[in-house]
Amino acid sequence: MVNFKSSIPALPVVSIKKAVDFYQIKMGFQTRHQEDTFAVMVRGGVEIHLWQACDQSWKFRSLLLFLRLIRSGAETFIAGTASCRIKVEGIEELYQEYKDQGVLHGEHNTIEEQYWGDRDLSTLDLYGNLLTFYEEIG
């Protein structure tokens, strides 16, 4: 029998250094590992991988798309296109922390109660990846 235990979101960013700084300063994560094009950020029991979408050759190939498709998988325009949901306890405290840091996302910038039984808040990282933090109700 297969038993899934956890998952690790891997979010594309343009600059690992800038993203690591943002996750540390604005979002309260710590760096467990960092290379030029990859980093592992942790907070509590949550781990997020950041990978560098650094291929800019698509800019020069765009006029010749019919000859050679964009396909490296690491094009810079991929940064900011990912999202993930992270389960937390203490959503009220996290809301206040992220409100103070100015990283809340959405037009209401509040904790929203979802009809499926979660309370959540959304943030954007430096490159626009969406992180939704949620706490189960009851």
* Of residues 41, 48, 52, 70, the one with CA closest to residue 12: 52
Q: Which residue has the tokens 């959405």?
A: 106
* Domain presence at residue 1: no
17 or 66, higher pLDDT: 17
* Domain presence at residue 3: no
Domain boundaries, position 98: 10-136
Residues 106, 120: Cα–Cα separation, whole Å? 11
pTM, full prediction: 0.84
Average pLDDT over residues 111-138: 93
**Contact 113/135 with Cβ under 8 angstroms?**
no
What pLDDT digit, counting tens, does each position of 64-118 carry? Answer: 555 555 565 556 667 888 999 999 999 999 999 999 999 998 776 889 999 999 9
* Domain presence at residue 2: no
Q: How many domains does the chain have?
A: 1
Range scoring the smallest mean pLDDT among 19-28, 31-40, 78-87: 78-87
* Domain presence at residue 83: yes
| pLDDT on residue 34 | 98
What CATH code is carried by the domain that includes residue 83? 3.10.180.10
